[in-house]
A and B are shown apart, each in its own frame.
Chain A
Amino acid sequence: MENNNTLGLIFSGNPEVNLGELMKVRSLAAVPVGGRYRIVDFMLSNMVNSGIVNVGITTGTKHRSLSDHVGSGKAWDMARKTNGLFLIPPPETLDNNTRTLESIDFVNSAMSFLTRSRQDYVILSDCNTICSINFEDVIDKHFKNDADITVVYTEVGELTPKELGHHIMLDANADGSISDIQVYPQRQKTNLAYMNMMFIKKDLLIELVGDCLAHDKHSIAKDILLANLHKLRIFGYKFDGYKKTIDSIKSFFGFNLDLLDPNIRHELFGTNDARSIHTKVKDSVPTKYGREAEVKNSVIADGCTIEGRVENCIIFRGVKIGKNSVVKDAIIMQNSRIMDDCRVENAIFDKEVILCNGKKLIGQGTYPLVIGKRTIV
């Protein structure tokens, strides 16, 4: 059923995350993943699959790629007369600002979208945590707890100091209420990590954002959650499924290769239409395998022509791999072309890269080689 009282707000970027070459031409939300998707497809589909039919996506600089991708929202069934999909223009201070814009600035950029929408509640979420979550359960829990804010968290193992540097750790009481919030802690005290998704009443969000901006405060984690830890009823919702936050080239590579695991694939993409992940339709032809093709353990999208050897790879739409070429442990994005007699290992090819006959590109397992969009090697 459509949930007509909750709207979604997705952040298309995260000031803490930079994927280098892959984000040179696009925002985090528009980074291609999983053979035919963009990062934002997962959160957007989660919302749509949870019955949320009014979603705003904030934008920063470099939003061409994202707006091209989401278009009218048709692919997510979000081209509607009332509600639907809205790209929020970048914050007005973007051009001449002297500080980095933070999450509250982006919520503020969506203020007219929030106030004009009919819904009373908001799901706020980053785009770069990939999981299959049903927000209906989060919403249920929120009302059962009579909470002001419900935050989604997950259990994690031991984190490295570097990883802790961009995690918000939580501690919860037996009744599910949040007892402590540590923003980017030096030392790990708990194993509950905030997934950057929260549910809140719209009026309360607008009030809190207004308060923060009036006091020159800009961080949702610090200035809304932490500052109100003892003033508001903040509860947690524990998410137990597969999740991966894409915040580095390493985790980007890791998430893509996770898709070679059938269990993860089935959980993320669902086994029925109700949980499927939607994306822009390209009308590619099916993939053609040649007589000499030899493909093992790979996820391959439509529209490819494969004549060489492919192993442990994620191959996007329209990729061509020539005869006698060997491609291993690699992510090859849309319309890239690997000609004959090439060898590629541990590499990420952005879109439309051309690797000419006989070339070799070999990266390290711990540090894959990234080749920028439209490079010709």
Chain B
Amino acid sequence: MKSKECVAMILAGGQGSRLGILTKDVAKPAVPFGGKYRIIDFPLSNCTHSGITTVGVLTQYQPLELNTYIGNGQPWDLDRNDGGVYVLPPYVSAEKGEWYKGTANAIYQNIGFISKFDPEYVVILSGDHIYKMDYSLMIKAHKEANAAATIAVIEVPWDEASRFGIMNTDADLNIVEFEEKPANPKSNLASMGVYVFTWSILKKYLIADENDPQSDNDFGKNIIPKMLGDGNRLLAYKFDGYWKDVGTIQSLWEANMNLLSENPGYLLDDDDWKIFSRTPAMPPHYLAPTSRVKNCYITAGCEIEGDVENSVIFEGVKIEEGAVIRDSVLFPCCVVKKGATVNKAMIGTNAYIGQKAVIGSDDEDAIADFYNSKICSDDITLIGPDVVVEEGVKLGKCAMVTRNVKNKVEEKSAVDETSADIITA
């Protein structure tokens, strides 16, 4: 194996439980975003454009869809004879086998993989952020500073700083202290979850950390404070572009809506830094004579007869005549039948919204059984993948719908099973 200057490792094993039903069967990095992407397209495309062609993707939670999606890496130009993309699940060896216990442990368990390439530097990325970033510039800064680790930071509003991992630095951006979600932040430089490490140094710390039974095996909690404590040079690298954590339903919805604003903060349509994705073979979309489409993102395979405004529509979606869609995100291949209304909602892959059904209704007679303010905030309604909402059903806002919803009128004629179906919500 030829040695590589740099290997990237993407932590893609997180469950993303705050995304509720969206991550029931798929890992967070495989969640759809922006009309035709998956979240992981962003770090993968960034790697390719930054000239990093050896990428390990660490999977653990519900990896099937993510593994299938990544495949041989061809959509990101990462099907290489030398390097390329590797999916790295936890494995069992002769002595023992175990799950990834924490972010640091996940890398520890893959020391063998990384060492095969004998890199100078390792870039650690997470699979749940939307941003475009040239990692090669960060590696350059890391090299020039001769740092042991460089951590990308972004300025966040002061009142939000206590939600992030905060870096306190000196004037030269040397990190003097790291605080995870501090109650009284001293700085507003938040860690973006993008790290560059000098591999020889990181390897020592990973081994020491693994031998420490008290450790949580986490980069933020354990490795970084330990390196700081030992007097290593840790550099903060300021990034001033668009960066969005899409870990909650609200932030995922917002990040989609950002695309529709006049100034989304970054250019998705940029020939020099395209975000690559696995493209389905679908014909261009069709807007019928009855359609009305304003301020939308629409992609291949859609057939639109209805009225759609301020919405992001993924591939293969059908919206029938008279249906009204507002401020919503419709995931691949979902169907909205005639006269249905969808208000401020995210509709999962392959979901079906029956005729004249209403999603995100304000009315008092709307079904409130699925109300879930823990997952859904800001009045957003979430319909799970493959869920069927039958004709005429009216669903209240701020709900997470995880199962098929039958029509109450029909329910009366077949009380036995359908009523039970609703009540167990």
Docked-complex contact B293 and A36, CB < 8 angstroms: no
Given A289-B294, A293-B294, the answer on whether A298 and B286 have CB atoms closer than 8 Å is yes
Q: How far is the CA of A353 from the CA of B74 in the complex (A)?
A: 32
Considering the complex, give the chain B residue whose CB is closest to the CB of A316: B284
Taking CB atoms and an 8 Å cut-off, the chain B residues in 280-305 that contact chain A are: 281-289, 291-300, 303
Docked-complex contact A35 and B283, CB < 8 angstroms: yes
Chain A residues with CB under 8 Å of B281's CB are 273, 276-279
Given A36-B283, A300-B287, the answer on whether A289 and B296 have CB atoms closer than 8 Å is yes
Q: C-beta contact mask, B267-287 vs A, less than 8 Å → 1, else 0?
A: 011000011110101111111
| Contact of A291 with B by CB under 8 A | yes
Docked-complex contact A299 and B35, CB < 8 angstroms: no
Q: How far is the CA of A74 from the CA of B75 in the complex (A)?
A: 11
Docked-complex contact B294 and A286, CB < 8 angstroms: no
Chain A residues with CB under 8 Å of B288's CB are 296-297
| Contact of A302 with B by CB under 8 A | yes
Considering the complex, give the chain B residue whose CB is closest to the CB of A301: B284
Docked-complex contact B287 and A298, CB < 8 angstroms: yes
Q: How far is the CA of A293 from the CA of B310 in the complex (A)?
A: 12
Taking CB atoms and an 8 Å cut-off, the chain A residues in 246-275 that contact chain B are: 259-260, 262, 265, 268-269, 273
| Contact of B322 with A by CB under 8 A | no
Chain A residues with CB under 8 Å of B312's CB are 286
Docked-complex contact B287 and A285, CB < 8 angstroms: no
Q: How far is the CA of A298 from the CA of B304 in the complex (A)?
A: 10
Docked-complex contact A281 and B284, CB < 8 angstroms: no
Chain B residues with CB under 8 Å of A259's CB are 283
Docked-complex contact B284 and A35, CB < 8 angstroms: yes
Chain A residues with CB under 8 Å of B313's CB are 286
Considering the complex, give the chain B residue whose CB is closest to the CB of A269: B283
Q: How far is the CA of A236 from the CA of B347 in the complex (A)?
A: 49
Chain B residues with CB under 8 Å of A260's CB are 286
Docked-complex contact B299 and A302, CB < 8 angstroms: yes
Q: Of residues B268, B269, B296, which shows the largest number of chain A Cβ atoms within 10 Å of its Cβ?
A: B269
Pick the contact of B269 from A285, A291, A297 — CB < 8 Å?
A: A285
Docked-complex contact A286 and B279, CB < 8 angstroms: no
Docked-complex contact B299 and A265, CB < 8 angstroms: no
With A35-B283, A36-B284, A291-B295 already in contact, 8 other A-B pairs whose C-beta atoms are closer than 8 Å: A283-B75, A283-B279, A285-B34, A286-B299, A286-B313, A293-B293, A295-B291, A297-B288
Interface residues of B, Cβ cutoff 8 Å to A? 34-36, 74-75, 260, 268-269, 274-277, 279, 281-289, 291-300, 303, 312-313
Interface residues of A, Cβ cutoff 8 Å to B? 34-36, 74, 259-260, 262, 265, 268-269, 273, 276-279, 281, 283-303, 305, 314-315
30 A-B residue pairings within 8 Å (CB atoms): A35-B283, A35-B284, A259-B283, A262-B303, A265-B283, A265-B286, A268-B283, A273-B281, A277-B283, A279-B281, A281-B75, A283-B75, A283-B274, A283-B275, A283-B277, A283-B279, A285-B35, A285-B275, A285-B297, A286-B34, A286-B35, A288-B269, A291-B295, A296-B289, A296-B291, A297-B288, A297-B289, A298-B287, A300-B284, A315-B284
The 8 closest A-B pairs by CB, nearest first: A286-B35, A35-B284, A286-B299, A301-B284, A276-B281, A269-B283, A286-B297, A297-B289
